[in-house]
Chain A
Amino acid sequence: MVLTIIYRLIIALVIALVGWNLFTEKKFTAQLTAAMVLIPLVLRALMIK
């Protein structure tokens, strides 16, 4: 249980960093890549998949 909470906190941190990257990156393809990376991270943070 504690391990899962730590795991989800790490995911939340990575989501924040990827989100930061999405809005600071100038290149559209890099932005799109960051947005795609967010999909599995958010689904896992919400424990949906």
Chain B
Amino acid sequence: MKEFFKKPIFPIITASVSLVLAIGIMVAAGVSFVKCWDVPMPIEGPNVTEVKMLSEWYDGLKDGPGDTPVYVLKGEGDGGAMLILGGTHGNEPSGYMSAVTFIETAIIENGTVYVIPYTNISSMTHNDPGEGNLQYFTLQTKSGERIFRFGSRATNPIHQWPDPDVYTHHPSGQQLSGSETRNINRAYPGREDGTLTEQIAFGIAELIRTEDVGITFDLHEASPEYPVINATVAHQDAMTIASEGCINLLLSGIDMALEQSPTNFHGLTHRELGDYTDTMAILMETANASQGRLRGGTSEEQVLGGVDDYYLYSESIGMLFVPWDENHHPIEERCGRHLQGIYEYTMAYNNAYPDKIVTYSGVPSYQELFLDADKEDLGGTQLGKFLR
């Protein structure tokens, strides 16, 4: 036996075995990564009149990795236009799940609503390295089990590469860390000849300008140790509407902070869409345990249920900017906040602009999604009941 290991052929055999093993891992990993490129889309709800692509507003995106579906929901009555941006960041599931819920349930009475479930669709096609995030999560819906992607904060680097050392925002000249070059919420108002992320941002600004969108919602989540959480940030032109809506949210039991968009922090929807278009730009944030730095291991229970015992401890030592108890922050609470927020701010918009109203029904409220739910249904089951 000893003689065999000394033969010159033995290293060739072990090298071949190592290579075969590596090829096996390559194929398994490669198939897994490639599957992530196929992002599951919403099922068209009762009032989806058209599904367009963002390239209809900026053809530079056509057939590329940034071209994303735009669901058009047109009401029978005249009115204004509203835009809902979900999936600005692919690792903030209540943002895109609220948009998906709106698409699948809303019945528009007046005006037109444009919903982009995955604003930066490239960010949905990969995960952040080193985060140990899920690739997918599942929900039981009316049509059975459905799979949704859990993505990344930024554009997939196979679509936009390389990152500069320093990202210089156009047109302000503001400098940020290089990786922010792939963050679409630092890329507005975008530009035609810019990076893929800037081109997507430009396409969205073009949609707003072309369709005369009166009010725009950008739906986000933040880690529980981030100060801007359970909050609305509005452009100064939208502050009157946002203040009225925020008071109504507070009266309906939703604790919502309101901040005016800083004038010196560039690239964000609530700053640039307000500055470079005529829309009322409003951004909302909810508490996402799976994004935080103090979290435990990531799991579906954490993503959908918001369950994380490390945050219970963090709360006890005053590390968080959002109240945390054993009820945690399930997806129903987070989507409920977004959907109720959209409703109240839209009502306030309608009061201010009666000639451009947008009215709708059928979308689950905070009460229906969260407050009326059985405790054991929180963490995905209750949300799934409203999805097709």
Contacts and interface: CB of A to CB of B under 8 A. Distances in A.
A48 B12 contact: no
Given A23-B15, A31-B14, 13 more contacts: A7-B161, A22-B15, A22-B18, A25-B15, A31-B15, A38-B26, A39-B26, A39-B29, A46-B30, A48-B30, A48-B33, A49-B126, A49-B158
Interface string B115-139: 0000000000010000000000000
In the A-B complex, the 10 residue pairs with the closest CB atoms:
A35-B18, A35-B22, A28-B14, A47-B158, A31-B18, A31-B15, A49-B33, A23-B15, A32-B18, A26-B11
21 contacts: A4-B161, A23-B11, A25-B11, A26-B11, A31-B11, A31-B15, A34-B18, A35-B15, A35-B18, A35-B19, A35-B21, A35-B22, A36-B22, A39-B26, A39-B29, A43-B29, A46-B30, A47-B158, A48-B33, A48-B158, A49-B29
B162 interface: yes
B33 A22 contact: no
Contacts of B14: 28, 31
Interface residues of B, number: 18
A42 interface: yes
Contacts of A22: 15, 18-19
Interface in A1-49: 3-4, 7, 22-23, 25-26, 28, 31-32, 34-36, 38-39, 42-43, 46-49
A42 B26 contact: yes
Main secondary structure on B side of the interface with A: helix
Contacts of B22: 35-36, 38-39
Interface string B60-74: 000000000000000
Contacts of B26: 38-39, 42-43
A3 B19 contact: no
B11 A43 contact: no
Nearest to A4: B161
B25 interface: yes
B34 interface: yes
A34 to B, nearest CB: 7
Contacts of A46: 30
A6 to B, nearest CB: 11
A31 B30 CA distance: 22
Interface in B1-49: 11-12, 14-15, 18-19, 21-22, 25-26, 29-30, 33-34
Contacts of B25: 39
Contacts of B18: 22, 28, 31-32, 34-35
A34 B15 CA distance: 9
With most chain A CB atoms within 10 A of its CB, the pick from B14, B18, B26, B34 is: B18
A4 B162 CA distance: 8
Contacts of A35: 15, 18-19, 21-22
A36 B21 CA distance: 9
Interface in B165-187: none
A42 B15 CA distance: 17
Contacts of B34: 48
Contacts of A3: 162
